[in-house]
Amino acid sequence: MTPDDIELFAKKTIETFYFWTGVLMWLIHAGFMVYEAGVTRRKNVLMTMMKNLLTCAVVTPSFFLFGWWIYYAFPHGILPISNALTAAALPWSAHMGPNLQDNITGVFWFAFLLFSFTTASIMSGAVIERIQLGAYLFLAMVLGSVVWILAAAWGWSDTAWLYTKFGFHDWGAGGCVHTVAAAFTFGVLLNLGARIGKYNDRGDPQVILPHNLPLTMLGLMLIFTGFYAFYAACAVFQTTGPWMSIYLTPMTLSSLAFTVTMGFSGGAMGAFIASRGEPYWTISGGLAGMISIASGLDVYHPGLGYLIGFAGGMIAVRFGNFLERRGIDDAVGAIAVHGGAGLWSMLAMGLFASGYPQHDLKTSLGGQLLGMLIMVALGFVPGYLLSLILKLTNRLRVSCEDELKGLDIAELGIEGVVPAGELSLAND
Amino acid sequence: MNSSPFRLWEEFASGGAGAIYTFFGTPWIVKGICLLVFALIVWFLLSAYRFEGRGRT
């Protein structure tokens, strides 16, 4: 092959690689859908699944219109910059459509869009069974197309101020995806309140059983599979030299194979022990483990990844129980899994992987602590304020009557799941 | 905790260093980590026995 042929081949390989990571990341959303459908009560199944579907629908055009531009425009803080990259990210630029001279922008945009779906979907499970559809979709759009991508601009690129000034290192987006989404969700839940029946008169939490736990387990297995593609899309393909992190530090795809899998294993085992074998928390712990290793998986020894995942699984269970006792009704434990493990991910990077050179700076505990603070604030403030406005205008929560009746009947006019014994009647 | 096997960016970026993982320069820590992983597996297996049969009580 001539050098020109090799370069052309490399370009096609990059294009193909990111295209298929995006496609495989859809598994995360198939997973979120069935996971939440399993957790919800039978009377809310179809509405819950509609919410998951429409999350992807509403985030796509809004991310096309302004989300992609935000990533390039805000690397230095709250004031936007203007350069060739920001101009190319505008929806009317020559790069934001089929272009024979640019076969990369579209597939990068697609991969980032799938990260946006993931971020918005993290909120979706926590608020099920009582949020108005319009309120949810508005909040999902803001989280998926504005908030997380602003956090990514601040901390998840080689020009981001948290990186260039403080050496913040968050390889797999434990901060800008998981922590930001969890903090946003926490703000929303403070205004949304608990489901009717979740707490008794004394304020003690009551168990609301999932209507189909096997479906939930299957959903998480799909999420696990999709997360390999999520992490693969975080790696930067180089035509020469090693793979790079998003900060342009060297790495290998082998680090994903080793550490993501070891993190999953540790998380599931840690959660199994901490929850005394409770199935829902055990499988959620696997996800917490996969998130716990996100920030430093490019450099962790696999054994260390296991230990961090193990601790992450335990943290998720303890944090979830803590929040529940304090009146936060997070129906799927999203804040515990994504927020607890996301924060732990950034902290563990500082505790166990400081001192790595990153161009002019080194990874450090101080940089990680600052990043944690910024990610929490950036998620919580808009989530709390926007949901407060919706609450004050009576646009956040469904009526008590509709909540008791179930959202499938109240909002869609049909039952999502008909019990087997009633099938014949339903078909008449 | 400083666990990087590299002090300089040039060493890390050259790609010629081989292993880049945490504590590569201090093998006793890596062996200690492996021992801890083994201990947690044992704890997990013992817990799996302990948590069995809860539905019967």
What digits encode the pLDDT tens for the residues A30-54?
999 999 999 999 999 999 999 999 9
Residue A293 DSSP code: T
Looking at residue A426, its pLDDT comes to 46
**How far is A397 from A329, CA to CA, in rounded Å?**
14
Looking at residue A7, its pLDDT comes to 82
| DSSP, residue by residue, A330-380 | -TT-HIIIIIIHHHHHHHHHHHHSBT-EETTEE--HHHHHHHHHHHHHHHH
**Tokens 């299957």 belong to residue:** A218
**How far is A365 from B10, CA to CA, in rounded Å?**
22
Helix (H) or strand (E) run with residue A258 in it: helix A254-274
What is the amino acid identity at position A381? V
- The mean predicted confidence, pLDDT, of chain A is 95
What is the amino acid identity at position A275? S
Taking the C-alpha atoms of A327, A333, A338 and A341 in order, what is their torsion angle to the nearest 10 degrees?
A: 90
Q: What is the pLDDT of residues A267-282, one digit of tens each?
A: 999 999 999 999 999 9
Q: Do A276 and B51 touch (CB under 8 A)?
A: yes
B2 touches A at CB < 8 Å = yes
Nearest-CA distance from A366 to chain B in Å?
11
Give residues with Cβ within 8 angstroms of A259, minimum separation 6: A293, A297, A300, A302, A305
Q: Do A356 and B4 touch (CB under 8 A)?
A: yes
Q: What is the pLDDT of residues A387-400, one digit of tens each?
A: 999 999 999 999 99
Angle at A240 between CA A359 and CA B14, to 5 degrees: 40
Pairing of strands A357-358, A361-362: antiparallel
Q: For residues A214 and A38, is the Cβ–Cβ distance under 8 A?
A: yes
Give residues with Cβ within 8 angstroms of A41, minimum separation 6: A129, A208, A209, A211, A406
Nearest-CA distance from B4 to chain A in Å?
5
A215 pLDDT more than 80: yes
* Residues of B in Cβ contact (< 8 Å) with A255: 21
Portion of chain A with pLDDT greater than 90, in percent: 91
**Arithmetic mean of pLDDT, A171-185:** 98
Q: Do B3 and A352 touch (CB under 8 A)?
A: yes
Taking the C-alpha atoms of A159, A162, A164 and A166 in order, what is their torsion angle to the nearest 10 degrees?
A: -170
| pTM reported for the whole predicted model | 0.95
Q: Do A307 and B36 touch (CB under 8 A)?
A: yes
Q: Among all residues of chain B, which has the CA nearest to that of A347?
A: B1
